[in-house]
Amino acid sequence: MLKKEFIITDLEASGKQEAIEELVRVLTGLNGGLNRETMVRVLLEREKLGSTGIGDGVAIPHGKMPGIEKMIIGFGRSKKGVDFNALDGRPVHLFFILIAPDNSSAQYLRVLARLSRMLKEPDMRDNLLKADSSEEIYSIIGQIDQMMD
């Protein structure tokens, strides 16, 4: 579900809304037909329920959106950190963004749980922070994902 083209190695955003908009720009720019405003609105509405900044420098903004056929995952890294109202109050450096079709509850929850488990590993977070390129980030995520199977 994650494509190399959906990886941002150095987010420029400094705040929550800016980070979500920057991540969405990449997803919608490479997926013709996706509505950028709708996707941002869906993600910001989810944030109103509680921050998806889960701590340890990680956030997983997510939501369900009508009109898409399959789940889309993107990744962003902020070297300087983003104020995302994370549960631990610390800046967020690693973002996984997940957009799912309206009717995908079971798969949606499985993917969220898997991302959460992956990102609980300190080595995984460190490797993603130190990676030099989107190819290296993609490879790290793929290796961890395979080990979890």
Q: What string of DSSP letters covers 6-27?
A: EEESS----BHHHHHHHHHHHH
Architecture category of domain 2-148 in CATH: 3-Layer(aba) Sandwich (3.40)
Task: Write the pLDDT tens digit of every residue in 14-64.
Answer: 999 999 999 999 888 766 667 889 999 999 999 999 999 999 999 999 999
Kindly list the domain boundaries of the chain, sorted by start residue: 2-148
- Structure token digits, residue 50: 């509680």
- Which are the catalytic amino acids? 62
Q: How far apart are CA 92 and CA 140, in angstroms?
A: 19
Contact of 97 with 74, CB cutoff 8 Å: yes
Task: Write the pLDDT tens digit of every residue in 125-134.
Answer: 999 999 999 9
Rounded to two decimals, the pTM is 0.92
